[in-house]
Amino acid sequence: MSAGLLLQVLVAGLAAGVLYGLLGAGYSLVYRMSGVLNFAHGEMVVLAMFAFLLPIGSGAAVAVTSPSPLLLLLALLFAVVVTVAASIALFRFGIRPFTSRGSVVGWIAASAAAGLLVRSVVGFLFPAEAYSVPDLLPTGILPGQGLVSLPGGGVLNLRDVIVFAIAAVVAIGFDRWLALSGTGRAMQAAADAPDAARLVGISPERLALLAFAVGGLLVAVAAVLVAPSRPISIGLGILLGLKGVAAAVTGRLGSARGAIIAGLGIGVVESLLGNLSVPPLALGALQLPRLDLDPLRDLFALALLVVLLALAPARLGGAEERLD
């Protein structure tokens, strides 16, 4: 693989990985604040993408050619509001009733069912197979549609670079907010010692609600940034959600920074798998044809998740506690 192609693969991977990372950071924060793995989190991506489409021109399978920047901003705002509101509603009506009673099976089922509901409502409003999403970023004004040819045959998509940069700013801002702001520190206190936090006037329940809201915000931003790069469909959500969980678990559940870094790693590996193939092999009598690794792309994050859970549950915080 030439250096140019490698750069192309790397940048595309980072741009995709940013979404996994931001999703994973949401999972992590929510898990840390409430002990809940939100099975509807992935569907929130889909909700955000289609909520973004709704004000622009619903019903049309192909997007309006060039919506005005004002409309796009309005749509972004709408997407953020819808996603955050849905996340809060999910926590308030779907999760809280069960966590407050200590029913683990209850919140697992309720969050999964809420995901189903989001999915079917979006599917009801947007019945076509796939939709293309207009770009919030004015990449059209860049020279050559933002595509730069690289030596060795690679093509660098400047949009990917911009997406990555914006997401990196969001991620770093989020990380600093957690570490430095009063609310962020209250969150850490409540996660480490909920009872002690209660004594000093911090309400873990309110912070858990806030965690869901912030998770929704991160999802909305990431979704709107990444959506224009390919046609979207309602089936997208669950798989994205799983990749987000894989990032969160790989980055040690509970650490937002770990989730973002792991998400970037997963994105890069997927991008590599999509562009690599094992050359034909001849080992004596054994003849192996050229093996394309592209079909394994979506499997990677899942396999990583399963292997990690099976091999190192204690390190990830997933092992059952023993009595005494």
Answer yes or no whether residue 298 interacts with other proteins by CB under 8 A: yes
Answer yes or no whether residue 59 interacts with other proteins by CB under 8 A: no
Answer yes or no whether residue 144 interacts with other proteins by CB under 8 A: no
Of 80, 133, 214, 249, which one interacts with other proteins (CB under 8 A)? 249
Considering the complex, state which of residue 167 and residue 253 has its C-beta at the smaller distance from other proteins: 253
Q: CB pairs under 8 A, 24+ apart, for 155-162?
A: 155/8, 156/7, 156/8, 156/11, 157/8, 157/11, 157/12, 157/15, 159/15, 159/135, 159/229, 160/11, 160/12, 160/14, 160/15, 160/229, 161/11, 161/15, 162/137
E-strand ranges in 131-258 read: 147-149, 155-157
Nearest distance, CB of residue 246 and other proteins, angstroms:
8
As given in the structure block, the two tokens for residue 309 are 């859970």
As given in the structure block, the two tokens for residue 75 are 């749509």
Instruction: For the segment 30-49, give every residue that binds other proteins (CB under 8 A).
Output: 35-37, 39
258 Cβ contact list (under 8 Å, min separation 6): 28, 248, 250, 251, 252
Cα gap 124→31, rounded to integer Å? 31
Name the DSSP letter for residue 280.
P
Of 61, 303, 312, 315, which one interacts with other proteins (CB under 8 A)? 303
Which span sits near other proteins by CB under 8 A: 77-85, 192-200, 216-224, 235-243? 235-243
Considering the complex, state which of residue 102 and residue 279 has its C-beta at the smaller distance from other proteins: 102
Using CB under 8 A as the binding criterion, the count of chain residues that bind other proteins stands at: 52
Considering the complex, state which of residue 97 and residue 280 has its C-beta at the smaller distance from other proteins: 97
Nearest distance, CB of residue 175 and other proteins, angstroms:
24
Q: How far does Cα 30 stand from its chain's mean position?
A: 13
Q: Are 23 and 222 in contact (CB under 8 A)?
A: yes
Between 84 and 123, how does the x/- string for binding to other proteins read (CB under 8 A)?
----------x--xx--x-xxxx-xxx-xxxxxx-xxx-x
Q: How far does Cα 245 stand from its chain's mean position?
A: 8
Nearest distance, CB of residue 74 and other proteins, angstroms:
27
Amino acid, single-letter form, for residue 20? Y
Considering the complex, state which of residue 58 and residue 181 has its C-beta at the smaller distance from other proteins: 58
Provide the binding-site residues for other proteins, judged by CB under 8 A: 35-37, 39, 94, 97-98, 101, 103-106, 108-110, 112-117, 119-121, 123-124, 127, 238-239, 242, 245-246, 249, 295-296, 298-299, 302-303, 305-306, 309-310, 313, 316, 318-324
